[in-house]
């Protein structure tokens, strides 16, 4: 956990350093203006991230994971896929929570297509990631657009899983 | 952001009614810690976005990832999202930077969706150990076409809604 955090930080700041050197090679003006641009973005984003981090903690506290697991029961068929998609979007917390719920659902007899739909929907729509990261950083219109055109794909993934009979 | 603020206030109120002021403060201190941990990474992500916006030549980006980049642009966006290191603190600032230097919604959607669905970081760190190799690999194989399809659908719908191009430049 801490090791992976360390690796993330090293690759992250390493990339910043490499791109910084590349910008510096283009001249001081490029370096200064890109650093200024990045810092302005940072200052603008801090309050939104603050609302996202602190806010999503309260939203997550109101939605207990047991509720989500209930929606993912061994109910197969397209109704199961639909509830799985809604459950994926409504799952609070980070990847540990999302994937663990998927694992529990598989153990208690949830069908693979439903769990695939759940994991894909979680990746595409998990509300906490959207509130905390996507909405603060991206233009609002892009976020809604992206979410809207993504709606068919958890269902497509479930259909493919049913068709090929895997995993 | 107003909607989110209202939602947060309602949920904080519910927590207060259920767990009292202690429950509210416990979540607040935990989240403030998290906030402090995230901040340096957010700064790094913003700097990455700033550098990319300055370094990448606009004409090349709009040719490679712009509205007329075709399937190739969607594939480039998908590949870029799949190999992008780091977490949401890099993916979203970089995606926003691509939008400002001339990528269209379609290619950027392909990148964001590819990062979240087939990016290796989360799959290796969390999905493999929790859900197992078999499930994870099939899940990724099934997800492979989704970024390109989502980008293509995004492009199609975008042209349909804004036939004369975007009404205003993205913020």
User: Which ipTM was obtained for this model?
Assistant: 0.84
Residues 113-132 of chain A with CB under 8 A from chain B are 115-116, 119-120, 123-124, 129, 131-132
Flag whether residue A21 sits within 8 Å of chain B, measured between CB atoms.
no
Same domain, A14 and A74: no
Predicted local confidence at residue A74, as pLDDT: 60
The verdict on residue A54 lying in a domain is no
Same domain, A99 and A139: yes
The domain limits of chain B are 1-43, 56-171
For every one of its 167 residues, what pLDDT tens digit does chain A have, with 9 covering 90 and above?
477 778 778 888 888 999 999 999 988 998 999 999 899 989 988 888 888 888 778 887 887 767 777 677 665 688 889 989 998 998 887 787 888 888 888 877 778 899 999 999 999 999 888 988 899 899 989 999 999 999 999 999 999 999 988 77
pTM for the whole thing? 0.85
Contact (CB, 8 A) for A121 and A81: no
Flag whether residue B152 sits within 8 Å of chain A, measured between CB atoms.
no
The confidence band for B112, taking pLDDT boundaries of 50, 70 and 90, is very high
**Which residue from A117, A133, A142 is spatially nearest to B143, judged by alpha carbons?**
A117
Domain count, chain A: 2
Task: Share the mean pLDDT of chain B.
Answer: 88
Same domain, A117 and A158: yes
Flag whether residue B114 sits within 8 Å of chain A, measured between CB atoms.
no
- pLDDT digits over A105-118, tens only? 887 777 889 999 99
Flag whether residue B90 sits within 8 Å of chain A, measured between CB atoms.
yes
Distance from CA of A126 to the nearest CA of B (A): 11
The verdict on residue A73 lying in a domain is yes
Predicted local confidence at residue A85, as pLDDT: 93
**B92-to-A42, A143, B25, B58 alpha-carbon distances in Å:** 13, 11, 30, 19
Facing residue for B108 by CB, picked from A12, A53, A142: A142
The verdict on residue A149 lying in a domain is yes
**Which residue from B46, B134, B66, B170 is spatially nearest to A144, judged by alpha carbons?**
B170
- pLDDT digits over B56-110, tens only? 888 888 899 999 899 999 999 999 999 887 788 889 999 999 999 999 999 999 9
Facing residue for B50 by CB, picked from A34, A146, A161: A34
Same domain, A84 and A157: yes
Predicted local confidence at residue B171, as pLDDT: 44
Facing residue for B157 by CB, picked from A58, A115, A149: A149
Q: The domain containing residue A24 runs over which residues?
A: 1-44
The verdict on residue A158 lying in a domain is yes
How many whole angstroms separate alpha carbon B104 and alpha carbon B112? 12
Same domain, A73 and A37: no
Predicted local confidence at residue A1, as pLDDT: 47
The verdict on residue A111 lying in a domain is yes
Contact (CB, 8 A) for A58 and B8: yes
Best residue in A6, A44, A137 for a mutation probing chain B (most B CBs within 10 Å): A137
Count of other CB atoms within 10 angstroms of residue B163: 7
Predicted local confidence at residue B34, as pLDDT: 82
Residues 64-83 of chain B with CB under 8 A from chain A are none
CB contact set of A62 (below 8 Å; sequence gap of 6+) = B11, B14, B15
Same domain, A28 and A92: no
Instruction: Spell out which residues of chain B touch residue A54, defining contact as CB-CB under 8 Å.
Output: 8, 27-28, 31-32, 35
Predicted local confidence at residue B31, as pLDDT: 86
Same domain, A128 and A77: yes
Alpha helix stretches (DSSP H) within A1-139: 2-25, 28-62, 65-71, 78-90, 95-107, 112-125, 127-129, 135-137
Sign of the C-alpha dihedral, residues A136, A140, A142, A144? positive
Facing residue for B27 by CB, picked from A15, A61, A119: A61
Flag whether residue A142 sits within 8 Å of chain B, measured between CB atoms.
yes
Best residue in A32, A61, A104, A155 for a mutation probing chain B (most B CBs within 10 Å): A61
Best residue in A142, A143, A154 for a mutation probing chain B (most B CBs within 10 Å): A142
Flag whether residue A44 sits within 8 Å of chain B, measured between CB atoms.
no
Facing residue for B46 by CB, picked from A41, A119, A120: A41
Residue % of chain B over a pLDDT of 70: 95
Residue % of chain B over a pLDDT of 90: 41
Same domain, A138 and A79: yes
Residues 47-106 of chain A with CB under 8 A from chain B are 48-59, 61-62, 95-96, 99-100, 102-103, 106
């Amino acid at each position: 956990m801490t090791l992976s955090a360390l690796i993330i930080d090293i690759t992250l700041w390493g990339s910043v350093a490499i791109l910084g050197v590349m910008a510096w090679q283009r001249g001081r003006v490029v370096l200064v203006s890109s650093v200024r641009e990045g810092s302005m973005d940072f200052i603008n984003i801090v309050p939104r991230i603050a609302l996202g981090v602190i806010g999503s903690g309260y939203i997550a506290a109101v939605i207990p994971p047991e509720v989500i697991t209930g929606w993912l029961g061994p109910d197969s068929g397209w109704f199961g896929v639909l509830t799985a998609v809604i459950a994926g979007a409504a799952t609070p917390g980070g990847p540990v929570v999302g994937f663990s719920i998927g694992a529990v659902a598989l153990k208690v007899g949830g069908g693979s297509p439903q769990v695939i739909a759940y994991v894909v929907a979680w990746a595409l729509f998990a509300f906490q990631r959207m509130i905390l990261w996507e909405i603060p950083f991206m233009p609002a219109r892009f976020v809604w657009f992206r979410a809207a055109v993504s709606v068919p794909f958890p269902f497509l993934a479930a259909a493919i899983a049913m068709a090929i009979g895997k995993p | 952001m107003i909607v989110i603020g209202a939602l947060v206030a309602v949920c904080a109120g519910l927590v207060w009614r259920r767990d009292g002021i202690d429950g509210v403060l416990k979540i607040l201190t935990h989240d403030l810690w998290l906030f402090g941990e995230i901040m340096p990474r957010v700064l790094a992500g913003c700097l990455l976005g700033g550098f990319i916006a300055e370094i990448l030549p606009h004409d090349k980006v709009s040719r490679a990832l712009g509205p007329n980049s075709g399937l190739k642009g969607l594939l480039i966006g998908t590949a870029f999202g799949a190999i992008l290191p780091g977490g949401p603190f890099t993916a979203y600032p970089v995606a926003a930077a691509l939008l400002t230097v001339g990528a269209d919604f379609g290619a950027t959607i392909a990148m964001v969706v590819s990062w979240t669905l087939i990016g290796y970081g989360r799959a290796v760190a969390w999905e493999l150990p929790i859900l197992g190799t078999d499930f994870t690999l099939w899940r990724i194989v099934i997800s492979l076409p989704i970024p390109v399809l989502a980008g293509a659908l995004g492009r199609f719908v975008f042209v349909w809604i804004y036939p004369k191009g975007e009404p205003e430049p993205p913020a």
